[in-house]
Amino acid sequence: MNLRALSEHLGLSQTTVSRALNGYPEVSVRTRQRVSEAAQQMGYRPNHAARGLATGKAGAIAVVMRTAAGQSADPHYGEFLSGVGEAAMSLGYDILLSPVTRETEEATFRRLAQSGQVDGILLSSPFISDHRITLLDELNIPYMVHGRDGARSKLYPFLDIDNKGAFFEAARLLIGLGHRKIGFINGLGNLNFANDRALGVMDALAENNIEVDPALITNGEMTDEYGYRITAKMLDRANAPTAILCASLFIALGAVRAIYDRNLKIGSDVSLLAHDDVIPYLKPENFRVPLATTRSSIRAAGVRAMQRLVAGIDAPTTDGEVWPVDLIVRESIGPASQG
Amino acid sequence: MNLRALSEHLGLSQTTVSRALNGYPEVSVRTRQRVSEAAQQMGYRPNHAARGLATGKAGAIAVVMRTAAGQSADPHYGEFLSGVGEAAMSLGYDILLSPVTRETEEATFRRLAQSGQVDGILLSSPFISDHRITLLDELNIPYMVHGRDGARSKLYPFLDIDNKGAFFEAARLLIGLGHRKIGFINGLGNLNFANDRALGVMDALAENNIEVDPALITNGEMTDEYGYRITAKMLDRANAPTAILCASLFIALGAVRAIYDRNLKIGSDVSLLAHDDVIPYLKPENFRVPLATTRSSIRAAGVRAMQRLVAGIDAPTTDGEVWPVDLIVRESIGPASQG
DNA sequence: TCATTTTTTGAAAGCGCTTTAAAATTTGAA
DNA sequence: TTCAAATTTTAAAGCGCTTTCAAAAAATGA
């Protein structure tokens, strides 16, 4: 059932039928009504490719997903995607999820941009200096970055949270409570958000003339296992930290385990503070000792990033947008114990 | 840069250029070489819509994602999607992630099927009796179901794990250890996999003449919070279970917390066994007391489901495929304590 | 009533690709 | 050298839609 068949059935031209269905004003009410009903009844749906060819619009945006055999998606990514999806639906867009490896990524970007398969590209969690942003600029396609590139001077549209500020405040809070030895179990070191967080922590230490102990700042994939391993190592060394910052709740999950393993008490023996991306199935207030957090919904960021991307298709901008981060105090932090 | 421009540049017809680029045999080696180089050099990419219009193929499959404002994706879903993505990439397909609400779902299915935007549809986690499968059948588009519809008599292509068998074996194991009061914290009751698991547990109970206590089988969304709440409730009642089955590791996370809250010991006071979808950032062997599990990789299922969907585009089948589930014993289960 | 304006409809071109049918060229056997 | 067969290339149609430009129909006003 295509437009021609439908218009022949109605005894009208394709032009009129097309206009009636797409809400153009130069169609009489009666005709529009008649066309709508017939379309409904005959189950007509416009062919996507044909429409795309005629209009030059795809009605979809691309989100690139890094995949490798056996390597899973980051749980935070799923939450972000869920927000993107919510916005996409309400905006009438589809999401093209393009799985790539590091090797195929550039070619995929080029293909997506130049084949007209999508109207825009969403990039998330860029590296400290990310050539993909340069590439997107070159490709001349609307794009939006969730996170930002720390090493870039040119303006480009992004949405990020104030990672540096958040971890500065968190570290400062712990220092205020008397902590001098603060461990920081961070995300992967090449990711810009992790770097920003480290900068925030180091600023707070510097402000208080505390020397940075490199062994107390680590980078790794944000999993329970990593949290456990590093916390165990930190607690078992001679000069153990009295407070630990975690870049994610999953890390905190492992940290909690390592702390309990050693029969230490959270909030008194060891203070614990983690960043909370607001993942509904893992809540800091549900930890055995409710967890102090820096909090920012990654899902809300997905919604907003998608909205801005779509807005930018018609009206490009290069605005950076930085969200403040809440600091939420719960029982997992307390004054430094007198070691 | 389109095909016409490229062919004019080369002094060849569009036909020849198209054939050269698409690997058709009736092009001389010399010509093909010349065309490839020019295409490369001029950065030519075929227009996706035009190709789709001409061939009737989309090169993408749809995965439907249920979204609602503020409601997040299930973490298991992200893992499944990651597997689908891996397979999609190696097969050269894109994934169209279609966000829907319950209300828009049917219309979206129809649109996807009839607009030719995708070549197939992947449906995951069907309900016990799921009209969406009937709909897909009607729409006459290749599809594949991850999971299955318990109430269906007609054949259709699916891939599922043996949920019933897995939970039958798990319950039987606990019964063999002397447990009579076994709690089962299950997933949402309208989902078929949850229903299958309940059937397995009830079969094992029936086999041993143990009466089913309805208060010991619950349905809910598979989160830490739910696990905590139900476990607490079960442990606090007069006739508390000595063993608890959880439908997911996230539920187990909460269950563990509730058990420790009561100063009970996992493996001796309370036995705990959960289903493990093999989520890399949350491993049962990393629980404080390593967790006994039924195990099946949901990511691997995603890979396979995608492969079968794509295979089914050219050669439709209606085969159901059921994977066995491993039962892995770890320290979290032990003989029933003499209450 | 008829010229004029406004409203409604239609013919046809074009989006960029694939593919059929036909033409041009090369090859090889007689 | 010749002609049929095999190889290589091309013209043109068609995929299903949108949109420009033009025409027809209806409404308006003097």
- Provide the positions of strand D that have an atom within 7 A of a protein CB: 7-20
Per-residue model confidence (pLDDT) at position A31 = 93
pLDDT tens, B77-98? Answer: 989 999 999 999 999 999 999 8
pLDDT tens, A71-81? Answer: 777 889 989 99
pLDDT, mean of residues A101-110: 92
Find out whether B245 and B273 touch, Cβ atoms under 8 Å. Answer: yes
Q: Which residue of chain B has the CA closest to A226? A: B281
Per-residue model confidence (pLDDT) at position A67 = 79
pLDDT, mean of residues B103-114: 93
Residues of B within 8 A of A69 (CB-CB) are 86
B33 touches strand C (CB under 7 A): no
- How does residue B100 score in pLDDT terms, banded at 50, 70 and 90? confident
Q: Which residue of chain A has the CA closest to B258? A: A288
Whole-Å CA distances, B320 to B145, B149, B280: 9, 11, 28
pLDDT at B273 over 70: yes
Hey, what amino acid is at B2? N
A51 CA to C24 C1' in angstroms comes to 37
Q: What is the pTM of this model?
A: 0.92
Per-residue model confidence (pLDDT) at position A212 = 95
Rounded Cα distance, B77 and B121, in Å: 16
pLDDT at B136 over 70: yes
- How does residue B338 score in pLDDT terms, banded at 50, 70 and 90? low
Query: Regarding predicted confidence, which is higher, A144 or B72?
Result: A144
pLDDT, mean of residues A296-300: 96
Per-residue model confidence (pLDDT) at position A338 = 65
Rounded Cα distance, B173 and A329, in Å: 44
Q: Which residue of chain A has the CA closest to B118? A: A48
- B82 C-beta neighbours (distance < 10 Å), count: 27
pLDDT, mean of residues A144-163: 95
Find out whether A282 and B224 touch, Cβ atoms under 8 Å. Answer: yes
Residue with tokens 């949270």: A161
pLDDT tens, A180-225? Answer: 999 999 999 999 999 999 999 999 999 999 999 999 999 999 999 9
pLDDT at B233 over 80: yes
- How does residue B147 score in pLDDT terms, banded at 50, 70 and 90? very high
pLDDT at B339 over 60: no
Closest nt to B53 (CA→C1')? D15
Per-residue model confidence (pLDDT) at position A198 = 98
pLDDT tens, A119-153? Answer: 999 999 999 999 999 999 999 999 999 999 998 88
Per-residue model confidence (pLDDT) at position A130 = 94
A107 CA to D8 C1' in angstroms comes to 32
Per-residue model confidence (pLDDT) at position B130 = 94
CA distance B96 to chain A (A): 5
**Those residues with Cβ within 8 angstroms of residue B154's Cβ, 6 or more apart along the chain or in another chain:** B137
Q: Exposed/middle/buried for A138, CB within 10 Å: 0-12, 13-18, 19+?
A: exposed
pLDDT, mean of residues A154-168: 97
pLDDT at A339 over 60: no
Give the rounded percent of residues in chain B with a pLDDT score beyond 90.
Answer: 90
Per-residue model confidence (pLDDT) at position A68 = 73
Residues of A within 8 A of B52 (CB-CB) are 48-49, 52
pLDDT at B33 over 70: yes
pLDDT at B194 over 70: yes
A29 touches strand C (CB under 7 A): yes
Rounded Cα distance, B178 and B173, in Å: 9
Residues of A within 8 A of B286 (CB-CB) are 224-225, 228, 254, 257
Find out whether A46 and A5 touch, Cβ atoms under 8 Å. Answer: no
pLDDT, mean of residues A19-38: 93
**Those residues with Cβ within 8 angstroms of residue B64's Cβ, 6 or more apart along the chain or in another chain:** B98, B100, B105, B108, B109, B121, B122, B123
pLDDT tens, A246-283? Answer: 999 999 999 999 999 999 999 999 999 999 999 988 89
A3 CA to C10 C1' in angstroms comes to 15
Q: Among B10, B9, B35, which residue's Cα sits nearest to residue B24?
A: B35
CA distance A144 to chain B (A): 18
Selected for mutation to probe chain B from A53, A138, A281 (highest B CB count within 10 Å) is: A281
Find out whether B39 and B14 touch, Cβ atoms under 8 Å. Answer: no
Tally of CA atoms within 13 A in the half-sphere of A259 that contains its CB: 25
Q: What are the residues facing A186 on neighbouring strands?
A: A219
The size of the A-B interface in CB pairs under 8 A is: 193
> Residue A217 has what DSSP assignment?
E
List the single range of A73-82, A244-253, B128-137, B232-241 with lowest mean pLDDT.
Answer: A73-82
Q: Exposed/middle/buried for B122, CB within 10 Å: 0-12, 13-18, 19+?
A: buried
Rounded Cα distance, A285 and B225, in Å: 10
- Helix ranges restricted to H, A56-176: 75-91, 105-115, 131-139, 163-176
- Average pLDDT of chain A is 94
- Average pLDDT of chain B is 94
Check CB contact under 8 Å for B49 and A52.
Answer: yes
Find out whether A115 and B127 touch, Cβ atoms under 8 Å. Answer: no
Rounded Cα distance, A135 and A167, in Å: 31
pLDDT at B2 over 70: yes
Find out whether B64 and A50 touch, Cβ atoms under 8 Å. Answer: no
Query: Regarding predicted confidence, which is higher, B179 or A338?
Result: B179
- B258 C-beta neighbours (distance < 10 Å), count: 22
Per-residue model confidence (pLDDT) at position A206 = 98
Check CB contact under 8 Å for B99 and A96.
Answer: no
B26 CA to D8 C1' in angstroms comes to 7
Per-residue model confidence (pLDDT) at position B73 = 77
Per-residue model confidence (pLDDT) at position B83 = 94
Residue with tokens 């897995």: B166
Rounded Cα distance, B19 and B15, in Å: 6
CA distance A14 to chain B (A): 17
Task: Give chain B residues 51-110 with Cβ within 7 A of strand C.
Answer: 51, 53-55
How far is it between the farthest Cα atoms of chain B?
Answer: 90
CA dihedral A9, A15, A18, A20 (to 10 degrees): -90
Closest nt to A28 (CA→C1')? C8
Find out whether A323 and A161 touch, Cβ atoms under 8 Å. Answer: yes
